[in-house]
Amino acid sequence: MSAETLPRELLIGTIARLLEGVRHVAVGATSPIPAAGAMLRRALDERNGVPAARLSILGSVRHNFFTNGSAELFDAAGQGRIDAFFLSGGQIDGQANVNLVGLGDYPRSEVRWPGSFGSAYLYFVVPRVILFREEHTPRVFVKNVDFISAPGVSSPEVYRPGGPVALLTGKGLFSFDRQRPGFTLDSLHPGHDLMEVQEATGFDFAHPANPPVTPALDASTLGLLRRQVLNELEETYPAYVADWRRDLAGLGEAH
Amino acid sequence: MSAETLPRELLIGTIARLLEGVRHVAVGATSPIPAAGAMLRRALDERNGVPAARLSILGSVRHNFFTNGSAELFDAAGQGRIDAFFLSGGQIDGQANVNLVGLGDYPRSEVRWPGSFGSAYLYFVVPRVILFREEHTPRVFVKNVDFISAPGVSSPEVYRPGGPVALLTGKGLFSFDRQRPGFTLDSLHPGHDLMEVQEATGFDFAHPANPPVTPALDASTLGLLRRQVLNELEETYPAYVADWRRDLAGLGEAH
Amino acid sequence: MLSNLDEMAARIGPRMHVALPVDYAGVAMAMTRPIIAHGAGELHLVCVPTGGLQVDQLIGAGLVHSIETSAVSLGEAGGAPRFNQAVKDGAIHLSDATCPAIHAGLMAAQKGIPFMPMRGLIGSDVLRNRDDWRVMDNPFAAAGDPIVLIPAIRPDVAVFHAPMADRFGNVWIGRRRELAAMAYASGETLVTVERVVDGSLVDDEMTAAGVLPALYVTAIAEAPRGAWPYGLWGEYATDVDELKRYAVAARSAQGFADYMSEALRVHP
Amino acid sequence: MLSNLDEMAARIGPRMHVALPVDYAGVAMAMTRPIIAHGAGELHLVCVPTGGLQVDQLIGAGLVHSIETSAVSLGEAGGAPRFNQAVKDGAIHLSDATCPAIHAGLMAAQKGIPFMPMRGLIGSDVLRNRDDWRVMDNPFAAAGDPIVLIPAIRPDVAVFHAPMADRFGNVWIGRRRELAAMAYASGETLVTVERVVDGSLVDDEMTAAGVLPALYVTAIAEAPRGAWPYGLWGEYATDVDELKRYAVAARSAQGFADYMSEALRVHP
């Protein structure tokens, strides 16, 4: 484990691990950490000599494999051609319900967020949906969301080949059990403890008595990330990469 | 009336008349007379200074307005953007049912024709469908078709903005009454009489006691046809136009 | 078929259903002020499938009665201030959707069918709040298998921006085929373009592949940099600073009014 | 991803559902003899939306168990002789359709939905003979309004010919978007092309507009004039004389066998 791994690098490396074995991952616009995680997955696959994950970044011109307009992502997902996708939420609850619409009563939300986007569909049909929200506070992780943009689980008669498999936050990594249903804390990021996470989470979750620490990136992976992936990412997220480079410079790791 | 009008020119001129006022007419492949009729309609519209009919020829590269594959014609028809279309049939009966599939029992037809193509859809949604079959014999115009590729009429609860308006043959022109339902002989082509047409038609049809003669093309229209339209048609139907030119040469009207 | 911005804006009448594209597909921003100046109100906006600056400005100008959308935001510049305020005030009627449901509704109109089935949605509050959608059991399944039916969306008019058109009315939309989907589904289609070219865009198979044919196009107006401050794929990038300037200004009704009354800034 | 005709033919296994395009869209005629040589039989053909020479030859070679099509013919060269004979003999199972029903079935597969509604058809013997289709009342209408539901068509493999591909697996299909529809709906897609180009076809917006992305493409083989005797839009015309020669030869089983056993003629 490298003491110099940045928190964002741990998240990116964890995402790359969660994406192991996917053929095609789609990433929403303005999602630099998931995009970097997917790029790292692709780089690792190439290094390991296995078929490399294909990556589509929505709204990007360069990382856009689609030629049939903005419906094609959803069509491809419906065809089973998208293995993994990321969702976030203004609120996420213990049933993995996601709220992207707003706080308070609907439709006159006290706080209105943009809207559900494709979540009410993709959450059902993409097999490996990774919930990602860096802010880990009780206002995000609530007992029950105010508005269900997309439900975490469905009754057995509902066609649902997809759904949540994991929740990654700034404090830890959870897996999701669709049967129970509910989250299990798999690991804590360095510097966080179980009680802190319980206090920051508005819903109950299962956990080992002593949760392990989220594994850090090995030196080879970290090297791949800081050289190849960082450069690849720069094209789509120049401001994010500049910030990252500043953090690296602070570590004495300037590139 | 010009004695020198060729039979095919009368058919083309009649089609152009039937298409008066259409915004967009689609013509199937290997249909030179409907194509020429539509081209003449367009030429007449341009001469008359009214919005000219738009013409799509299926399978043609040049007269193809479509850029969304072979589904687009049907989509456009469903949107109400196709005002007129032509259908033929191996058999056509007095209810305007059309058979494009074969003779005898289905599926092991004694004589098999290619198939229904788009008829089972377009006949329902294109407002002005013109039935065109030059061969006017009892084997074509039957009491009941052996297979209904597309029905002439539908019960009131069926969505049907389209359907047959006319039947043009080598012997005469019929209109179709969807209420009765049935055909009415509107006019006989020069050289044909009512009894001959009755004997050549396997179904009953209404008719005036003395059906008029199908109006010939006036000199100006004939000129437009033999100059502009004949040249336009040549690109898509060179063999047909060569044959036509030979007929004209026989009239002493070589161009 | 060649027209100008004001003539095209005048085709938008009160209570019309107006389809507008997603930020990155080609937004006819040059039409926004002419539409506001023309002033037809009580519009129903259909965002294909999400809305941004243009939607926020039409709402801010008080022209919008209702909106069907999967989201409204200014992307990197944050939330859509006039939309968010209108939601809080209950000033607009919301039909919250999800992106593929809007595509499905347009596809139904394209196909001339009354509805399209769609997976997903069941158990969401998106579905619970849409009394114009239906759920039925899939008749091809042995038992159960509920599926949502989305009714056709047939806008009166679609408005978007594209790189080029020819003088025959053909518009080159490239791979942004949601623009074609909007036009197929809509009664009229109004297009602003960077430039009008001389030759026919359908005469060459290479350009034809990206063409929306004139059959679907009502009017075209030339508007160089007509998507600004949004970008246009293959042409120019989004002016994020301008979006941010708007986002700050439009936090208040007065700030919005001041921003909109500025002379149209010369853009870079 | 670059392959050859024989390798591609070997991907077609017994009882597979094989989607083939209409004559003028781009038929991979160069694949016909390799498929016959490979010999996987009991195939189910899906014609998108009609069939011609390739279908007739696969039937004549005895590889076809069943076929869904809106028509089979040789166009100007007349009826399809081996198809017509097989119908008369009851040697193949027929699912007669109408063009937009086949497009609807593929669209359902493209959208990941179990069925598509479709207008028309009611009262036809096409519908009467399709026990895999359903009729229901439109739930959005006050009463009545029957509408046909076409189940998804999900071919195992689509086979077609296109002008070009790049070495990344992107195929340029231009405006022949039924080829994309076939690929979206199918498990695998095998493509022959006139030529393979060096640069990426998606790097330029102009070529990208006509591209079927590599995501949907399983294998590509170069086959210059690979549609012959059919033409390829924008490239070369149909060889009608050759179609007529076939039409005459294939009137009898022996004549068909003789025609097929000829060394592949050098085409002009």
pLDDT at A14 over 90: yes
pLDDT digits (tens, 9 = 90+) for D189-207: 999 999 999 999 999 999 9
Q: What residue of C is the nearest CA neighbor of A153?
A: C123
State percent of chain C over pLDDT 70: 98
**Which pLDDT does position A240 carry in this prediction?**
92
**Which pLDDT does position A3 carry in this prediction?**
52
Q: Which chains neighbour B (Cβ–Cβ under 8 Å, 3 or more pairs)?
A: C, D
Indicate yes or no: CB of A116 within 8 angstroms of CB of C83.
Answer: no
For CA atoms B69, B74, B77, B82, the dihedral sign is: positive
Higher pLDDT, A244 or B65: A244
pLDDT digits (tens, 9 = 90+) for C8-40: 999 999 999 999 999 999 999 999 999 999 999
Taking contacts as CB-CB distances below 8 angstroms, the residues of chain B near D80 are 114
Rounded to whole angstroms, the Cα distance separating C1 from C200 reads 14
Q: Where are the alpha helices (DSSP H) in chain D?
A: 5-9, 23-26, 32-38, 53-60, 81-89, 99-111, 125-128, 178-185, 205-208, 240-249, 253-261
SS3 of A189, please? coil
Reported as half-sphere exposure (CB side, CA atoms, 13 A), residue D244 has a value of 5
Cα of D33 to nearest chain C Cα, Å: 29
Q: Which of B60, B61, B65, B67 should be substituted to probe chain C, the one whose Cβ sees the most C Cβ atoms within 10 Å?
A: B67
Instruction: Report the mean per-residue pLDDT for chain A.
Output: 94
For residue D108, the Cα-to-chain-centroid distance in whole angstroms is: 17
pLDDT digits (tens, 9 = 90+) for D98-115: 999 999 999 999 999 999
Question: Which of B54, C134, B123, B183 is CA-nearest to residue D140?
Answer: C134
Tell me how crowded residue A132 is: count the other CB atoms within 10 A of its CB. Answer: 22
State percent of chain D over pLDDT 90: 95
Which phi and psi (to 5°) does residue B227 adopt? -100, -75
Q: Which chains neighbour C (Cβ–Cβ under 8 Å, 3 or more pairs)?
A: A, B, D
- Is the bond preceding C114 in cis, omega lying within 30 degrees of 0? no
**Which pLDDT does position A103 carry in this prediction?**
97
The minimal CB distance from D210 to the residues C112, C119, C209 is found for C209
Contact A175, A200 (CB under 8 A): no
pLDDT at A63 over 50: yes
Question: With touching defined as 3+ CB pairs under 8 A, do chains A and B touch?
Answer: no
Indicate yes or no: CB of C116 within 8 angstroms of CB of D113.
Answer: yes
Rounded to whole angstroms, the Cα distance separating D81 from D59 reads 10
Which phi and psi (to 5°) does residue C246 adopt? -65, -45
The CATH code of the domain at A7-87+117-135+149-250 is 3.40.1080.10
The minimal CB distance from C184 to the residues B24, B65, B75 is found for B75
Indicate yes or no: CB of D140 within 8 angstroms of CB of C175.
Answer: no
Which tokens hold the place of D246?
């076939």
pLDDT at A254 over 50: no
Cα of B71 to nearest chain C Cα, Å: 9
Question: With touching defined as 3+ CB pairs under 8 A, do chains A and C touch?
Answer: yes
DSSP state for residue B227 in the 8-state scheme: I
**Which pLDDT does position A255 carry in this prediction?**
46
pLDDT at D219 over 80: yes
How buried is B188 (Cβ within 10 angstroms: 0-12 exposed, 13-18 middle, 19+ buried)? buried
pLDDT band at A4 (very low <50, low <70, confident <90, very high): confident
Contact D90, D63 (CB under 8 A): no
Rounded to whole angstroms, the Cα distance separating C62 from A1 reads 58
- Classify domain D5-97+153-261 at the CATH superfamily level: Glutaconate Coenzyme A-transferase (3.40.1080.10)
Give span(s): CATH 3.40.1080.10, chain C.
5-97+153-261
Cα–Cα distances (Å) from D11 to C31, D39, D59, in that order, read 53, 11, 19
Taking contacts as CB-CB distances below 8 angstroms, the residues of chain D near A23 are none
Indicate yes or no: CB of C76 within 8 angstroms of CB of A100.
Answer: no
pLDDT digits (tens, 9 = 90+) for A103-148: 999 999 999 999 999 999 999 999 999 999 999 999 999 999 999 9
Cα of A244 to nearest chain C Cα, Å: 18
Which tokens hold the place of C83?
């939309």
What is the secondary structure of A60-123 as a DSSP string? Answer: -STT----SGGGHHHHHHHTT---EEEE--SEEETT--EE-SEESSSSS-SEE-S--TTHHHHH
Q: Which of D106, D107, D113 should be substituted to probe chain C, the one whose Cβ sees the most C Cβ atoms within 10 Å?
A: D113
Rounded to whole angstroms, the Cα distance separating D118 from C251 reads 47
Question: With touching defined as 3+ CB pairs under 8 A, do chains D and B touch?
Answer: yes
Q: Which of B57, B79, B159 should be substituted to probe chain C, the one whose Cβ sees the most C Cβ atoms within 10 Å?
A: B79
**Which pLDDT does position C266 carry in this prediction?**
46
Mean pLDDT per 10-residue interval, chain B, length 255 residues: 79 98 90 95 96 84 84 97 96 98 96 97 98 97 98 97 98 97 98 98 98 96 95 88 93 59
Q: Which of D22, D126, D145, D147 should be substituted to probe chain B, the one whose Cβ sees the most B Cβ atoms within 10 Å?
A: D126
Rounded to whole angstroms, the Cα distance separating B141 from B173 reads 13
pLDDT band at D1 (very low <50, low <70, confident <90, very high): confident
Q: Can you give the pTM of this predicted structure? A: 0.96
pLDDT digits (tens, 9 = 90+) for D173-190: 999 999 999 999 999 999
pLDDT digits (tens, 9 = 90+) for D113-162: 999 999 999 999 999 999 999 999 999 999 899 999 999 999 999 999 99
Rounded to whole angstroms, the Cα distance separating C120 from C130 reads 14
Tell me how crowded residue D217 is: count the other CB atoms within 10 A of its CB. Answer: 21
Indicate yes or no: CB of C184 within 8 angstroms of CB of B80.
Answer: no
Instruction: Report the mean per-residue pLDDT for chain D.
Output: 96
Rounded to whole angstroms, the Cα distance separating B147 from B109 reads 10
pLDDT band at C264 (very low <50, low <70, confident <90, very high): low
pLDDT at C121 over 50: yes
In this prediction the ipTM stands at 0.96
**Which pLDDT does position C268 carry in this prediction?**
41
Taking contacts as CB-CB distances below 8 angstroms, the residues of chain A near D113 are 78
Which phi and psi (to 5°) does residue B173 adopt? -120, 130
Which tokens hold the place of D117?
């509604």
Indicate yes or no: CB of D215 within 8 angstroms of CB of A24.
Answer: yes
